[in-house]
Amino acid sequence: MRAWRRGVRVERSLALLRAGGTNEIDAIALCCGFADQAHFTRAFRAEVGIPPGAWCAWVVGAAL
């Protein structure tokens, strides 16, 4: 159950990051139910494989 919930939260954060929240990672973390940005970063890395800042840079670079 915990892994499923984490996955749902990370999926929600991906949608918000895609919408242009690269400067608001801490706000996205709180909005998605994470205790703080560090908690979010650990969960994001566990699900996606890279931290959210690197993911945003990769997505923006791919869009150019």
CB atoms inside a 10 Å sphere around CB 49: 9
Task: Tell me what pLDDT residue 22 has.
Answer: 56
Residues 6+ apart with CB under 8 A from 31: 16
* CA-based nearest residue to 24, from 53, 54, 59: 53
Q: Helix 2-18 crosses helix 52-63 at what angle (to 10 degrees)?
A: 40
User: Which one is predicted more confidently, 38 or 62?
Assistant: 38
- Closest to 6 measured CA to CA, from 36, 37, 46, 49: 46
Query: Looking at per-residue confidence, does 62 or 44 come out higher?
Result: 44
pLDDT digits over 15-55, tens only? 999 887 556 889 999 999 999 999 999 999 999 999 999 99
CATH of domain 2-63: 1.10.10.60
Higher pLDDT, 20 or 62: 20
The full set of domain ranges for the chain reads: 2-63
